[in-house]
Structure 1
Amino acid sequence: MDIDQLKQDIVTASHVLHQQGIAAAFGHVSARIPGTDTFVFPPRMSPALVRKDNLLVLNVEGDQLSGNGRPNTEFWIHARIYKARPDVQSVCHVHPPNCVILGSLGETIRPLHASGAIFKNNVQVFDPITLIRTRELGDQVAQTLGAHGAMLLRGHGVNVADKDVRRVCVMTLWMEEAANYQLRAMSAGKPRYFTPEELEHMYSQVSPEEVSNRAWDYFSSLIET
């Protein structure tokens, strides 16, 4: 994928997350420039306002290499996850309300519906109450994420990391959907979460790229970029 398409995917994902109510004035999606320790990252503005011509390039040490304007203050989330995880090609940090509420209850994502199975039982929890504005905190976040693809930051938001912008965007939407269903089930009674066997079975059905691509095609059709 060329850099221009990478930037377009960041713009589209940013607008999708805003349109779906996952990101308002704050939040950010980034993408690694393939084969490098640099990444494309938005400036300090709402995801709704992100455009290809205002994107920045940073490296994993936090240096801004190109672009005008200042990066979002929590760029260390992205920089240090990329540093720790060469396999990760895209990172999203947003503040989905249901995920934040779920985290405030001392819970994490426990799958009970199809799309939620994409996370298995591997959503990590970062407990300190703080914004991630230093290299050291970025390293702690990356360590908490470990080899997994998603995490809750208690009282704050979520991080999702995966192999490309489109999948990260869809997984972020699915994470908020899973939190919504879980909260509703918890308020109605005792949820019947997937057993390990059910989880593995459903994961095999929802994890293929064609599934997330179909979701991306739908959500991206709803916005103009």
Structure 2
Amino acid sequence: MARALGQNGLSGPFGHCSVRLDNERFLVCAPRPMGLIGVGEAGATVNVVGDLPADVLGEVRIHQQIYRRRAQVGAICRFISPQITALAALGRTPKARHGFGSYFASGVPIWTSAALIRNDDAAGQAAELMGEGPAMVLNVNGAVTAAETPERAVALAYFLEDAARVELTAISACLENTGPLLDGDAAADRATWNGRIAERVWEYLLRNDPEPLSR
């Protein structure tokens, strides 16, 4: 997950990702640039409830709070990508304007504070804001995606960044208020995982990865 995000322009020096191990624990990647995390490099096991280990980044509290509230979530991406950041700087989040955007037809909430989320109260409020949705934008500090599997969480990050690109294009063309949107049944039909959608994104993003794909 980390290399898929870090080596494809979805996150630079900052960001983190995690996978649920069981109802009480999750594994988060090492606290360094995700694209540089090597094969077999150890992450850290974190309890869903309780203090963070000393060597874990403070923002991993967001992962804790999401896992605590959403038993179906099996993986989380916290990433800082360029198009999402540019759009958030305008106080906006992507709309469902194309196929990838259809996965966010219910809307993408934005956390309005520009401060990094490094305490339990803020992390809990952010998780409540995200609700049951697939994604949340953290102001100019990137975004979070959550899904049942690592492949889907990473695919949602890829889709969200492309949806932000399309949204910025609509704004630059002065069509953000008149351009068509996907909604209702059209969006629900398009936002499918059938046909190995997430798996193909996973394979594409890890096309040059040194670790054999095992998922």
Is this a same-fold pair by TM over 0.5? yes
Of 28, 52, 55, which aligns to 2:43? 55
2:145 is the alignment partner of 1:160: yes
1:194 corresponding residue in structure 2: 181
2:112 is the alignment partner of 1:112: no
Q: Kindly provide the amino acid, as one letter, of the partner of residue 178 in structure 1.
A: A
2:68 is the alignment partner of 1:83: yes
SS in 1 for 2:77: strand
Range with greater deviation from structure 2 (183-192 or 163-172): 183-192
Range with greater deviation from structure 2 (22-31 or 205-214): 205-214
SS in 2 for 1:126: coil
1:44 corresponding residue in structure 2: 31
Pair 42,93 (structure 1): closer, same or farther in 2 beyond 3 Å: same
**TM-superposition CA deviations, 1:25-77 (whole Å, max 9, x none):** 1111101113x221001222111232434111001224457xxx711231101
**TM-superposition CA deviations, 1:112-161 (whole Å, max 9, x none):** 11111111132111111211111111101111111111011112110101
1:224 corresponding residue in structure 2: 210
For the aligned residues, what is the CA RMSD?
1.8
The 2-side partners of 1:134 and 1:102 are apart by 25
Q: Kindly provide the amino acid, as one letter, of the partner of residue 187 in structure 1.
A: S
Structure 1 unaligned segments of length 5 or more: list them: 1-12
The 1-side partners of 2:91 and 2:101 are apart by 18
Instruction: Give matches, 1:1-225, under 5 Å.
Output: 13-34=1-22, 36-51=23-38, 52-63=40-51, 70-191=55-176, 192-197=179-184, 200-209=185-194, 210-225=196-211
Deviating above 2 A after TM superposition, structure 1's stretches of 4 or more consecutive aligned residues are: 49-53, 61-65, 222-225
Deviation at 1:195, TM superposition (A): 4.4
The TM-score normalised by the length of structure 2 is 0.89
SS in 1 for 2:58: coil
The 2-side partners of 1:144 and 1:136 are apart by 12
1:8 corresponding residue in structure 2: none
Structure 2 unaligned segments of length 5 or more: list them: none
Kept in 1, the 8 Å contact 2:98–2:182? The answer is no
Kept in 2, the 8 Å contact 1:45–1:72? The answer is no
Range with greater deviation from structure 2 (140-149 or 186-195): 186-195
1:7 corresponding residue in structure 2: none
Kept in 2, the 8 Å contact 1:90–1:164? The answer is yes
Pair 195,45 (structure 1): closer, same or farther in 2 beyond 3 Å: closer
Kept in 2, the 8 Å contact 1:80–1:139? The answer is yes
Pair 37,15 (structure 1): closer, same or farther in 2 beyond 3 Å: same
Pair 73,49 (structure 1): closer, same or farther in 2 beyond 3 Å: farther
Q: How many residues align structurally?
A: 207
The TM-score normalised by the length of structure 1 is 0.85
The 2-side partners of 1:195 and 1:56 are apart by 40
Q: Kindly provide the amino acid, as one letter, of the partner of residue 212 in structure 1.
A: A
The 2-side partners of 1:206 and 1:137 are apart by 30
Deviation at 1:169, TM superposition (A): 0.5
Deviation at 1:182, TM superposition (A): 1.1
Deviation at 1:183, TM superposition (A): 0.3
| Structure with the higher helix share, 1 or 2 | 1
